[in-house]
Amino acid sequence: MKRLLLLIPGALLLADGLWLVSLNKIHLGIILPMLIGAVFIGIALFHAPIQRFLAQHRALRKAWTLSWAGFGIWLISLAGFFAYLQHSISQSEQIPPVKAIIVLGSGLEHGQPSPTLKARLDAGAALALKNPDAALIMAGGLGFNEKISEAAVMQNYLVQAHHLAAERIHLEDHSTSTELNLINSKAVLERLQIGLDQPIAIATSDFHVLRAAAIAGHQGYSNIYAVSAPTPLYIRYNSWLREYFAFLSGWLLNEY
């Protein structure tokens, strides 16, 4: 029974990861579950010899037990992060009138918004329609081997797909990270005479709302509302897992 409890989830984790890799989606949130799945399968298949080996080595048996305890604690912390993230996402649906909407970039594919970026733009556009006087700021620089900035592509998408006025959309096209996006957007806001204490929305992916809001707060934005764009279900929890480590990394690097 114990072997099945490891073999079945291990096989599911490994198969899911291999499928996502076949779709050219490779990041920590995909690789780590694959590794966990492979370890689970190995332990299930070689359970008996592993137990015999551990029975002969008391120190290793203790380390083995501590490793499982540490893994359990990690799973609890991950579940807590997921719950807090889900709560933050639900809060993002309740947004009052805002003065500006910053849409954070997320990469281009063949000169067009990636699916993740498109979702962010759609979420930002929906809020813009509810706030006709709010300025929009597209935050995304020039990527490797690209001739047009991500911000310009984002502006074109909003004009063509959502029929928003081009003069309403302002570009922050010199940065390629969330931290720099928000730092450079300050100059745009200052030009528009919008203070950091005024209500400002940040449109980003659901997995990114916590970190984006934390970085903004660290940089002096004091009245921020995160707008959550949904991540496709087939890769949602892999993205959330990657964000778990990104959030910890940002804290260690003093980004918030």
The CATH class that applies to domain 100-252 reads alpha beta
Q: Say whether pLDDT at 74 is over 90.
A: yes
Give the pLDDT band (50/70/90) at residue 24.
confident
Q: What is the pLDDT of residue 147?
A: 83
The whole-angstrom separation of Cα 256 and Cα 252 is 9
Q: What is the pLDDT of residue 88?
A: 87
Query: For residue 22, what are the contacts with CB-CB under 8 A and spacing of at least 6?
Result: none
Q: What is the pLDDT of residue 85?
A: 93
Q: Identify the burial level of 134 via C-beta atoms within 10 angstroms of its C-beta, where 0-12 means exposed, 13-18 middle and 19 or more buried.
A: buried
The whole-angstrom separation of Cα 251 and Cα 256 is 6
Structural domain boundaries of the chain?
2-91, 100-252
Which residue is associated with the tokens 């919008």?
Answer: 194
Mean pLDDT rounded to a whole number for the chain? 92
pTM for the complete prediction? Answer: 0.85
- The structure tokens listed for 113 are 């918004």
